[in-house]
């Protein structure tokens, strides 16, 4: 599958915290960057997310803001 | 300012393309990763975005999806 | 690729309108439903979107609201 | 009320799962398509969402991505 | 129509700028607050948005971030 | 920090409800308007959100819809 989202960043699952409906997934990107994602618990389970699994963070460009100091 | 968005990634502006209402901004993160952002042209101008400027990509965790191969 | 987004709906491209930065893509789903999407022009071009092409609309569950009459 | 969101799809509530803060609502559209939504539990209660209720899925076009095989 | 979005704020259209695909709409809320919205040009036209028109800004709670000084 | 998000509205925390992963935060803006936000519980804790605290609601323009009666 090829997706229109402009940002597809390869990483590894570092941590998963499950709530009743949503899960918080922390990814580690190469270079030590971390990215945090909130997805449904059902998706986290369907994708078999667990520490160490290789995954991609996928982010639509219109959801990226820019800040300056 | 400290923001609730969990993802604040330091980078540099690599390219800016202006439309009538929106602008597409490409950032380069350390390690060569690129992140693309769509913001309003007014914001791009207000922040003085131009090639080489140091900025942050700011992404709310609920806007990050996860994919597997 | 398998994605955490809960909504992946098969359809066909019905119309594409390009702006300078973004494109508006209208899909037709089975049963005659239409779905409208805004993606970057670069993505529309990268995916080769044109009338009749088979594609999927992908929507994160947290971006779906519910309304009643 | 008439809303700017380009996608307003009629369906029926199929399932509701409540968390502490958010609820996951599964809708069934005509033709058997399913759409999953995450809204606040307060909204799910305010709208009286329960199995069989006729509702609309409302999705802003900028939140619809497109994927190809 | 009653919608799950938790934030529905009454205001008046102050300014509309049209691009090829999207429009930028500035609203004025009571008390002088301003809210800026990006919607498709088609929606801006369908809703007949013009200076002075009474409208509502509608914002899903999961799209509201919080910042501190 | 200066951010591209066009909507930065000053207010006070009125109520915080914590779930396992997400928190619902109600703000009161000047003039009595209320804004509801869903952020991660970790962010709510990191920002020290509690009743009476002065904060800002930050909303990207592309996440603001418009409705008419």
Q: How many domains does chain E have?
A: 1
Residue A18 touches partner D, C-beta closer than 8 Å: no
pLDDT at C1 over 90: no
The span from the CA of C46 to the CA of C43, in Å, is 5
- pLDDT exceeds cutoff 90 at B31: no
Q: Is the pLDDT of residue F1 over 90?
A: no
The percent of residues above 70 in pLDDT, for chain B, comes to 100
| Sign of the alpha-carbon torsion through C40, C45, C49, C54 | negative
B63 vs E24: CA distance, rounded Å: 22
Helix spans in C1-69 (H): 41-46
Tokens of D7: 């996608």
ipTM above 0.90, yes or no: yes
Neighbours of chain E (3+ CB pairs under 8 A): B, C, D, F
Tokens 């369907």 correspond to A46
* pLDDT tier for residue B1 given thresholds of 50, 70 and 90: confident
Residue E31 has pLDDT above 90, yes or no: no
Q: The domain that contains A59 carries what CATH number?
A: 2.40.50.100
Answer whether residue B69 is part of any domain: no
E4 and D44 Cβ atoms separated by less than 8 Å: yes
Is A1 a residue whose pLDDT tops 90?
A: no
Domain containing residue E12: 1-50
Asked, for residue D68, whether it belongs to a domain, the answer is no
Q: Determine the distance in angstroms separating the CA of E47 from the nearest CA of chain D, rounded to an integer.
A: 7
Residues of chain E contacting D60 with CB distance shorter than 8 Å: 39
Pairing of strands F54-59, E65-68: antiparallel
Residues C25-45: what's their mean pLDDT?
Answer: 96
Residue C67 within any structural domain of the chain: no
Q: Is residue B29 part of a domain?
A: yes
Give backbone dihedrals phi and psi of C32, rounded to 5 degrees, phi first: 90, -5
Residue D36 contacts C, CB cutoff 8 Å? yes
């Amino acid at each position: 599958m090829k997706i229109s989202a402009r940002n597809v960043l390869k990483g590894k699952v570092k941590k998963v915290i499950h709530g009743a409906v949503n899960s918080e997934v922390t990814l580690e990107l190469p270079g030590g960057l971390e990215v945090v994602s909130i997805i449904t618990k059902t998706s986290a389970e369907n994708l078999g997310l667990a520490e160490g699994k290789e995954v991609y963070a996928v982010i639509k460009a219109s959801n990226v803001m820019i800040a300056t100091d």
